[in-house]
């Protein structure tokens, strides 16, 4: 049982690391510091972040792996909000 928990924690840690790397890429893509262009990088929280000119930045959509999945999840979320609103209109004491 302990081995399974360790494995789960390893997977959680890997996912967290990937999330952080993705976040760093998004931030790197958005940031442009002309002072750092010569050095081509600067340090933030012990991580190296490269500055990109606007012409080299990617649009946010480029970071989406599956746009159809995102659209589906957004639709499902909107449907839940609508359902909740209807339930609240019928009974204001409904929590969920």
pLDDT less than 70: residues of the chain: 31-51, 96
Cβ(58)–Cβ(31) below 8 Å = no
Q: What is the pLDDT of residue 41?
A: 46
Q: What is the pLDDT of residue 39?
A: 42
Q: What is the pLDDT of residue 82?
A: 95
Q: What is the pLDDT of residue 40?
A: 43
pTM surpassing 0.75? no
Sequence-separated (6 or more) residues with CB below 8 Å from residue 52? 28, 29, 31, 32
Question: Domain residue spans in the chain?
Answer: 1-63, 64-96
Q: How far apart, in whole angstroms, are the C-alpha atoms of residue 27 and residue 47?
A: 12
């Amino acid at each position: 049982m302990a081995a399974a928990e360790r494995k789960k924690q390893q997977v959680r840690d890997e996912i967290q690391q990937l999330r952080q790397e993705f976040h760093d890429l998004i931030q790197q893509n958005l940031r442009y510091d002309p002072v750092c262009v010569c050095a081509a990088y600067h340090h933030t929280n012990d991580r190296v972040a490269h500055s990109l000119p606007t012409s080299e930045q990617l649009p946010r959509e480029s970071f989406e792996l599956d746009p159809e999945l995102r659209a589906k999840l957004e639709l499902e979320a909107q449907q839940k909000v609508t359902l909740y609103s209807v339930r609240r209109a019928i009974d204001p004491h409904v929590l969920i």
